[in-house]
Structure 1
Amino acid sequence: MIGKKVGGRTYYYLVTSARVDGEPRVVSQRYLGTAEEIGRAMDGDVSAPGEARHRTFGDVAAVWATLRRLDFVRRVDEAVGAQRAATTLGTHLALAVLHRATAPETQLADWWRDSVAREFLQADLPNHRRALQRLTPERIARIETAVADAVLSWLGTGDAALAVDVPQFATFTTADPCRCELAGLGLVVTKDGAIPLASHVYPREGAPPFAALAEELRSLYPVTLVFTAGQAAQLDLGRHFVGALPLSEHPELLAKPPSARKPVDPERFAGLTALDTRAVVAGMRRRVILTHSETLHNAQARAFGEELGTATRELAGLDAALASGTYRGDRGQVNAEIARITRGRRVERVLSPALTGTRPGEIRLTWKVDDAAVSRLHDEFFGKQVLVTDHDWPVAEVVTAYRARTHLDSTFRWLTGPAVTGPAPRWEWTPHRIAVHTLVTVLASTVTHLMRREADRAGMNLSVRELMDSLAGIGETVLRYPSTGGRPRTRRLLTERNPEQQALFDLFGLSSLGEYGARRSSAPPASTR
């Protein structure tokens, strides 16, 4: 134990010494307090904290741990080149990604004021927005490449890539409420985890055909093209693709009995079965996979029930209006109103409306629901997809590749929700601001999808939002004790963790973040931090 005299008072530290290169050196020290504080502690007199505050810890710490493992700041700074600013672009971009990945709904300054991120990053917040203005298109491209190299190095060589279109990426609003710009996003992502590697943002107005976008993405990486049933007709299928086909084009597959399908992977895809076969697609026999998801089936059945209920209530209202004479349109007008109420392929298949009478005031409406048609919808359509591919991958890998866009859509809806409004008053979304916003959002999705992939490999099948919400539940309580003549002491405690949170805490190595882990309970004072 040694004492240090500051301002006429002596403060004591518990010191550990060791020989370093043959010389005695202090290798660690722990603050104990003044002689009076040590005496009171020995007598069991531990003073109560003067104040306490709580903040989230796990989500910020896990994202920061992932950024550190990617060596994010150094890689970005190397990609950018020489800089004269004290706070580098790598640090500013790490701050932006950390904020977007953990609190996209909160303004940066408000989040930073109370965030545990202040313990990890020494950031120049007043100059943050100005610093990001230095992100030229050339620098953005080099940064994406540098981060993609880090991701591929993490995953190991040989990871296949997918080309995915996210047409509803973001709507950029401006100070003029009548003006907005809807942007789409083309992405190259890993097959394992749908982790973005490269991006291409485009305006939805005058957007390129999907086939042209696909070729542009293919020029960046050797990729497998992922497309939806609505995009299938736009493509001349060549090599390396996974896509969906319109169900109506393959009635012979839809009529197959459930016994023809086999479970795909009960652990990863509960309730998903598939029939792996071949069928004629665009004039050629190709590998097709009929899938049926219990989750999708139930969701579609619920939506159809609501749709049918709405249609029958509106038909009943129209019938009552005809009977009371408040609706006096002719047969053509009534038929047009019925068509409006029943529009939609599913309702039209099961509802059979009929009119009697010819003149206004005499026209009456009846209808019936075809129960056999409802049963056919349940048996032949609900929960089903027809996938086509030229790969010989296992069915589970084909399904994973096709669902990449679903995961990305969900992630971007969360990351870009309130973020694109900008600070108040609203700013003008220039092409440069859109490019920077896109870079930060894509990098945030890269980091969070990498985290999701790690959690999935550890047996936790979570969406990005579920993962981040679980991590955010790991909180930190900061206790500040009143000064007894020296500097105030601070004690940090992490909240109790449920089994999933503890598994994530261990998975991302949060106990290794200096004080921010298992050693929190020792609570070193500010003077030793």
Structure 2
Amino acid sequence: MIGKRIGGRTYYYFAESARVDGKPRVVGQRYLGTAEDIAAAVAGGGPEAAGARHRSFGDVSAVWGTLQRLDLVRRVDSVAGPQRARPTLGLHVALAVLHRATAPDLEFEEWWTGCLAQDLVRPRPPKGSVTTASHWRALQRLTPERIAGVETVVAEAVLELLGDDGTEALAVDVAQFAAFTAADCTLPSACQDVLAGLGLVVTRDGAIPLASRVYRRESAPTFGALAVELGERYPATDVTLVFHAGQAAQLDLGARTGFVGSLPLADHPDLLARPASVRRRVDPERFAGLTAFDTVATVDGAHRRVILTHSATLHAAQYRAFTSELSTTVRELDGLAAALEAGTHRGDRTQVHAEMSRIIRGRRVERVLNTTLTGNRAGELRLERRVDEAAVARLAEEFFGKQILVTDRDWPVAEVVTAYRARTHLESTFRWLTGPAAAGPSPRWEWTSHRIAVHTLVSVLAATVTHLMRREADRAGMNLSVAELLDQLRGIGETVLRHRSTGGRPRTRRILSDRTGRQQALFELFGLERFAPG
């Protein structure tokens, strides 16, 4: 141990010596602190921490590790071509994806300041080079040709990782993709939200996006036209079209091949009337409470495979929604009845009938409510209503929790359900990534077509990364949504302790928070040890 006198105080170092060219030399040393620091350490204490800050570790490091596995920075830079700017476009795109996946509600610069990403990115960007303004300027270099090129090279990376599991794809339409709004509505034109839908080609295994096509809702293509365009994006891949019941009428299912979708329940009353005993459990581990009946029915003039499914979870949710709707309707009818009895409603019989129709019309409660209007003249009219509980039970038994899926694929029922639910998972992911509305950075931000295209690319790449992670977690036995997965990872935090300066640079110590069993499993699954403090 050697001591160095600095500013009137002595600081001690542990020195390692060895012979170099036959002469003793100090070949290594480690700072120990002042005599007081050493005494405190010997007594079991240590230098007092001058401050501490907590930051998210698990989600940032897991997403960044996945970006590294996809080699995203190099692949984007290969599309961009020679660049003099630093950081490169590839790094800006990677940081945009990391930001969108881990902190979509924070301004970019606010997120970057103090974020774990600063310790992960190597080589470090030049000081002051990563700001909101510089970041968006860099992303503006994403021309339509570069956007298409980036999607292509990232899709190639995904397919390389998946191997044979990536040979089949799904074409889906996420109609509720995003609503874009100005950050500062100083002009009336800037305050008009832009509603956007998104067509996607995704892997059948994991619903990982491979290609996208954003469109404005006011000029949306027909679903049939969008389906053709999406199918042409990957002509060498077996693409299955996924649609919901509202889109079924736009497709000729009698002639089409390669599809999984749902049909309006009312179109097949014979299926709805089948007893629950004909249904079988699908996959208790993946789909708790889901049963199905696999049969054949006539659809658009052709015999097609149809699957009647019943979800206990969906049944409970629909029953709660129905009872809430019924309560609202009954309350309004009782209010009308009270007004008639009190004489405060002076309308004639025709007007009261119109008011009753307004309250009930278009609701499922029509099937379970019996109403009687007596009297002929204003002031004498009386309204009575009754809920038919037997009709409620029939409605619940006939409709609640049920879907009718149709397909020409010979996949197991569980795989048909998984393919159909890909759109739901993607909608959930994009709600997480974009929030209720996507606002640009201040000052006032105009959402041009190009800026929407750039925002879409970043969102799709974030969905690509997080769905790839979700697929890996699912294969490890953890069936989580993207939001649930990132929430678990975010629970793995890092505390940075800053110790008081003893004459040199203030020392810091990084420690990770305690982890639950699931968090530890994710820690190991994504190899986060390599990012952990030493």
- What are the within-5 Å matches in structure 2 for residues 485-500 of structure 1? 485-500=503-518
TM-score by structure 1 length? 0.91
**Is the counterpart of residue 147 in structure 1 residue 154 in structure 2?**
yes
Segments of 5+ residues of structure 2 without an aligned counterpart are 19-26
% identity of equivalent residues: 66
**Is the counterpart of residue 369 in structure 1 residue 387 in structure 2?**
yes
Residue 524 of structure 2 aligns with which residue? 506
Render the CA deviation track for 1:133-174: whole Å, top value 9, x for unaligned: 100000000001111111111111352110110111111123
SS at match of 1:243: strand
Q: Which of 231, 234, 237 lines up with 1:218 in the alignment?
A: 231
Residue 111 of structure 1 aligns with which residue? 111
- What are the within-5 Å matches in structure 2 for residues 231-250 of structure 1? 231-237=247-253, 238-250=256-268
Residue 54 of structure 2 aligns with which residue? 54
Q: Which of 274, 290, 309 lines up with 1:291 in the alignment?
A: 309
Offset at residue 491 of structure 1 (A): 0.5
Offset at residue 426 of structure 1 (A): 3.1
**Is the counterpart of residue 97 in structure 1 residue 97 in structure 2?**
yes
Evaluate the alpha carbon distance shift between residue 29 and residue 241 of structure 1 in structure 2; reply closer, same or farther with a 3 A threshold.
farther
SS at match of 1:66: helix
Indicate conservation of the 8 Å contact 1:105/1:419, yes or no. no
Segments of 5+ residues of structure 1 without an aligned counterpart are 18-27, 520-529
SS at match of 2:285: coil
- What are the within-5 Å matches in structure 2 for residues 302-313 of structure 1? 302-313=320-331
Offset at residue 38 of structure 1 (A): 5.5
Tell me which stretches of 4 or more aligned residues in structure 1 moved more than 6 Å.
1-11, 13-17
Render the CA deviation track for 1:435-491: whole Å, top value 9, x for unaligned: 111011111111111111111111111111111111111111101111212222110
Indicate conservation of the 8 Å contact 2:59/2:489, yes or no. yes
Residue 228 of structure 1 aligns with which residue? 244
Give the letter for the 1:325 counterpart. G
Render the CA deviation track for 1:71-103: whole Å, top value 9, x for unaligned: 111111112221111211110011100010011
Residue 88 of structure 2 aligns with which residue? 88
Indicate conservation of the 8 Å contact 1:104/1:419, yes or no. no
Q: Which of 358, 364, 376 lines up with 1:340 in the alignment?
A: 358
Render the CA deviation track for 1:302-356: whole Å, top value 9, x for unaligned: 0000000110110000011111121122222212211121123421111121211
**Is the counterpart of residue 132 in structure 1 residue 139 in structure 2?**
yes
Residue 199 of structure 1 aligns with which residue? 212
Indicate conservation of the 8 Å contact 1:244/1:388, yes or no. yes
Offset at residue 178 of structure 1 (A): 4.7
Give the letter for the 2:118 counterpart. R
SS at match of 1:493: strand
Evaluate the alpha carbon distance shift between residue 5 and residue 241 of structure 1 in structure 2; reply closer, same or farther with a 3 A threshold.
farther
Instruction: Count how many residue pairs are aligned between Structure 1 and Structure 2.
Output: 506
Evaluate the alpha carbon distance shift between residue 40 and residue 321 of structure 1 in structure 2; reply closer, same or farther with a 3 A threshold.
closer
Give the letter for the 1:125 counterpart. V
Provide the rounded CA distance (Å) in 1 between the counterparts of 2:514 and 2:389. 53
TM-score by structure 2 length? 0.90
Offset at residue 30 of structure 1 (A): 8.3
Evaluate the alpha carbon distance shift between residue 302 and residue 227 of structure 1 in structure 2; reply closer, same or farther with a 3 A threshold.
same
Decide which moves more: 103-112 or 410-419: 410-419
- What are the within-5 Å matches in structure 2 for residues 38-53 of structure 1? 41-42=41-42, 44=44, 46-53=46-53
Residue 75 of structure 2 aligns with which residue? 75
Indicate conservation of the 8 Å contact 2:308/2:402, yes or no. yes
SS at match of 2:218: coil
Evaluate the alpha carbon distance shift between residue 5 and residue 394 of structure 1 in structure 2; reply closer, same or farther with a 3 A threshold.
farther
Decide which moves more: 369-378 or 253-262: 369-378
Residue 33 of structure 1 aligns with which residue? 32
Decide which moves more: 338-347 or 373-382: 338-347
Evaluate the alpha carbon distance shift between residue 5 and residue 190 of structure 1 in structure 2; reply closer, same or farther with a 3 A threshold.
farther
Provide the rounded CA distance (Å) in 1 between the counterparts of 2:306 and 2:7. 80
Indicate conservation of the 8 Å contact 1:350/1:371, yes or no. yes
